């Protein structure tokens, strides 16, 4: 079904596909663009048959907003070519490698490395699970740029993808300059009266920013963007974590890795399963990221946007090569464990877990960054706020 030319503007009035692509990529005339989606059975992309499944809301947004938007004017407006949509098999985990097989709506079975990566300049991946890590690796190999937008929903379309990413980049840079070259950051957590502290060594590294601009060489933007992040050089201490089933477990950390989980509330089997994985594949517990949100956005219910909200912070376990870390899929005992899993702390995602204070040691001075999920005076000062 061909949608009306103004469909996107009527449903998501603040969102503009042409503005998003123009701002993020500053595309040059003649560049080829395509869209990737993930499906349990990727052959269902044939004839766009997946649209019959009303539960596939992410993939429908990819079709209705991005694919139709490109075909109904954005390609010609930006002087781009292509606009094809392809499907690959859902990976089942965040940042797991994708199978090489990819399918086209006309029924053809193609190869990512032979037919897609070498032949497109801009690749947009709108999927269930993040594909940032594998696409970053292939972007460096084949020279394309791209954006990953997993978990897309109407709130993200109307807000996180409707902002001006030049402004997002400028605001993130203010925070990056005031947080770069830190010696360490400590995060205090409190759950049911029990307090714990996670000490994260950073080795005075340059802080990095996820800011949504992908205008230079091979790179992948993770959208919505708006984050300052580091790859820890060492981590000690403990922190409470909320599992997908609502169980709360204390994560005990030494030498940069979670080595044991302890039940605080919920299902003992969840903790037992986690501990078994930590024992059989220890690198799954490696803490490969510390991130801070930089944007003022509404809560979307999806971590991809909610971790970009100012006052939130997250750590991540697992794969870190796409962030400049050294943990690659080949170092896992089982490649199916080679995920990159963000652990978000926010007043909506983890309301039972308090974060009384986050502090940073930089240039011999200890400053408070966040108190009770709100930016403290130092952060507000970096942003030019009272």
Place of tokens 């139709």: 68
Place of tokens 């957590």: 189
pLDDT of residue 196: 97
pLDDT of residue 335: 87
* 138-163 pLDDT, tens digit each: 999 999 999 999 999 999 999 999 99
Q: How far is CA 238 from CA 200, 260, 291, 292, 318, in A?
A: 11, 10, 17, 19, 17
pLDDT of residue 216: 87
Place of tokens 């993770």: 222
Give which of 238, 320, 317 is closest to 278, Cα–Cα: 317
Q: Which helix (H) or strand (E) holds 47?
A: none
3-state class (DSSP) for residue 252: strand
Beta bridge partners of 125: 36, 148
pLDDT of residue 167: 95
Residue 275, CA atoms < 13 Å, CB-side half-sphere: 13
Q: Do you find a cis peptide bond into 224, omega within 30 degrees of 0?
A: yes
Phi, psi at residue 267, to the nearest 5°?
-95, 115
Give which of 100, 111, 90 is closest to 44, Cα–Cα: 90
pLDDT of residue 14: 83
pTM of the model: 0.93
Which residues in the chain land under pLDDT 50? 1-12
For the record, the structure tokens of 381 come out as 């000062």
pLDDT of residue 13: 60
């Amino acid at each position: 079904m061909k949608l009306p030319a103004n469909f996107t503007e009527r449903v998501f009035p603040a969102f503009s596909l042409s503005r998003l692509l123009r701002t993020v990529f500053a595309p040059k005339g003649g560049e080829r663009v395509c869209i990737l989606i993930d499906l349990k059975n990727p052959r269902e992309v044939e004839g766009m048959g997946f649209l019959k499944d009303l539960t596939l809301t992410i993939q429908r947004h990819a079709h209705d907003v991005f694919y139709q938007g490109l075909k109904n004017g954005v390609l010609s407006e930006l002087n781009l070519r292509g606009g094809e949509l392809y499907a690959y098999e859902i990976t089942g985990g965040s940042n797991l490698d994708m199978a090489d097989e990819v399918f086209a709506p006309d029924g053809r079975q193609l190869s990512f490395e032979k037919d897609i990566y070498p032949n497109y300049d801009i690749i947009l991946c709108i999927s269930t699970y993040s594909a940032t890590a594998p696409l970053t690796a292939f972007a460096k190999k084949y020279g394309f740029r791209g954006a990953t937008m997993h978990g897309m929903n109407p709130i993200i379309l109307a807000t996180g993808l409707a902002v001006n990413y030049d402004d997002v980049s400028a605001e993130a840079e203010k925070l990056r300059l005031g947080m770069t070259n830190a010696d360490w950051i400590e995060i205090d957590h409190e759950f049911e009266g029990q307090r714990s502290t996670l000490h994260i060594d950073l080795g005075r590294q340059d802080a990095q920013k996820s800011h949504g601009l992908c205008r230079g060489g091979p790179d992948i933007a993770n959208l919505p963007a708006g984050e300052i992040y580091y790859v820890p050089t060492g981590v000690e201490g403990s922190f409470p974590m909320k599992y997908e089933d609502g169980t709360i477990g204390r994560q005990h950390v030494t030498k940069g890795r979670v080595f044991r989980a302890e039940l605080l509330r919920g299902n003992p089997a969840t903790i037992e399963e986690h501990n078994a994985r930590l024992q059989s594949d220890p690198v799954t517990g490696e803490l490969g990221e510390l991130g801070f949100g930089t944007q003022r956005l509404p809560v979307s219910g999806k971590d991809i946007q909610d971790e970009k909200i100012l006052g939130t912070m997250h750590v991540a376990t697992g794969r870190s090569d796409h962030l400049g870390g050294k943990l690659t899929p080949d170092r896992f005992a089982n490649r199916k464990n080679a995920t990159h899993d963000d652990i978000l702390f926010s007043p909506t995602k983890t309301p039972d877990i308090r974060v009384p204070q986050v502090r940073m040691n930089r240039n011999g001075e200890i400053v408070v960054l966040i108190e009770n999920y709100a930016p403290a005076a130092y952060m507000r000062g970096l942003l030019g706020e009272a």
